[in-house]
Structure 1
Amino acid sequence: MLTLYYAPGTISIAVALTLEEAGLPYEAVKIDFKSAEQTQPDYLSINTKGRVPALALPDGTVLTETGALLEYIADVAPSAKLIPTDPALAAHMRSAMYYLASTMHIAHAHKLRGSRWASQQSSFDDMTSMVPQTMAACATYVETHLLRGDSVSGQSFSIADPYLFVVCSWLEGDGVSIADYPKIQNFMTTMEARQSVKTIREKAML
């Protein structure tokens, strides 16, 4: 069985949602960020990066990085059809995921993870103050360029959708009103209606 190491409110929930969508059995192991469990030897022996998600395979192999895990799930559960068959749509899906990983997630992290880039409190304060502006700019890009109707691909559910759902769930906490972005608001409503989201909420993971 697969084992997913996750923390509520983090991007690791995108992997849990995708596992549900794929119908793959898995065990979910919560990593307590409040007690800094991710920095302790037991977890570092699983993922030396000290971050989530991590996905342990039945043979003991451990995979990390959200995008890679989502691609893995899609590959081992082809019947779920989680990647568009059209090459251009698949490329658009991946471009959305890369944007979320390289830009929007980083903008969000500046609020609480400033120590990754600086060491002075004044720097932390400056980064935090910029988060509403940078996340609003990201939301505008998502609204204008990434979403195509009810999903990223515009045709069917793909692995980019749980990724986007989790990242957009951070917007309100970052000072950005989803109501200002009709496409994002519709996307979030559509996602909330999916059984995968309902299941993860029932499990108190989201």
Structure 2
Amino acid sequence: MKLYTYWRSTTSYRVRIALNLKGLDYEAVPVDLVRGEQKSARFEAINPGLGVPALELDDGTILTQSMAILDWLEDTVPEPALLPSDPVGRAQVRAAALVIATDIHPVNNLRVIGRLKTMGHDQDACTDWMNDWMTRGFEAFAKMIRTDTPFCFGSSPGLADLCLVPQLYNAHRWGCDLSGFPRLTDIEKRSLALPAFDKARPENQPDAT
């Protein structure tokens, strides 16, 4: 398989972790978002949404959108499971994961920040914007996960952890105050100690600069 990815893309980071956890081999194909490689005609043919990640399967099928890719991985490689077996538990894990995937990330991605800058907002204003949305999301997320488990919902990492850790990477990068979220940063430390998470870190990617 080929994973079209960018080293600092949090959505790509989620998928890298999942692929590693499930023991799947893949070729990383870097797409430089800062240079605009995702806007090329060649990449548009791969992903009309002009973003990463995109996962090309062995038969040439291409999957896009990180959460859809994670669903496919869970369906086709069920072990280790990213979701619990009971329907209510699955819905609760998905809800927490989507706080990050749909409430935080979409308003903080490169395209949105670029648009804010074209509207006259400087980098400081954009950073304040990102940190505000991350703080709001983390506040909700922290109330939705369990308080008595090593990871967000159990003794092993799942879908919520896969979304949390990459978003915390962004939080550290932009100086978001995480002092009020010790449970989240504890989960982050525990996760990053695992080989699957460590291998997926942005700084460990071939295109890291």
**TM-score, L = length of structure 1:** 0.87
* Structure 1 position 137 matched with structure 2 position 136: yes
**Which residue identity lines up with residue 185 of structure 2 in the other structure?**
Q
Change (3 A) 1:45 1:112: closer
1:184 partner SS = helix
Change (3 A) 1:199 1:12: same
Moved more, 122-131 or 67-76: 122-131
Give 1:8's aligned residue. Answer: 7
Shift of 1:24: 1.3
1:167 partner SS = helix
Give 1:169's aligned residue. Answer: 169
Give 1:66's aligned residue. Answer: 66
Alpha-carbon distance in structure 1 between the residues aligned to 2:53 and 2:68 = 10
Over the aligned positions, Cα root-mean-square deviation in angstroms equals: 2.5
Alpha-carbon distance in structure 1 between the residues aligned to 2:176 and 2:145 = 18
**Which residue identity lines up with residue 204 of structure 2 in the other structure?**
A
Alpha-carbon distance in structure 1 between the residues aligned to 2:79 and 2:138 = 32
Give 2:106's aligned residue. Answer: 106
Alpha-carbon distance in structure 2 between the residues aligned to 1:122 and 1:32 = 24
**Contact persistence 1:100–1:164 (CA under 8 A):** yes
Shift of 1:45: 1.3
Count of aligned positions? 204
Aligned ranges for residues 1-206 of structure 1 at < 5 Å?
2-10=1-9, 11-109=11-109, 113-116=112-115, 119-122=118-121, 127-146=126-145, 148=147, 149-201=149-201, 204-205=204-205
Q: Per-residue displacement from partner, 1:90-113 (whole Å, max 9, x unpaired)?
A: 11111122221211113433x763
Alpha-carbon distance in structure 2 between the residues aligned to 1:71 and 1:127 = 32
1:45 partner SS = helix
Q: Per-residue displacement from partner, 1:129-176 (whole Å, max 9, x unpaired)?
A: 333222222222222223543323234321232121111211122331
Change (3 A) 1:145 1:160: closer
Moved more, 113-122 or 77-86: 113-122
**Contact persistence 2:3–2:53 (CA under 8 A):** yes
What 5-or-longer segments of structure 2 have no aligned partner? Answer: none
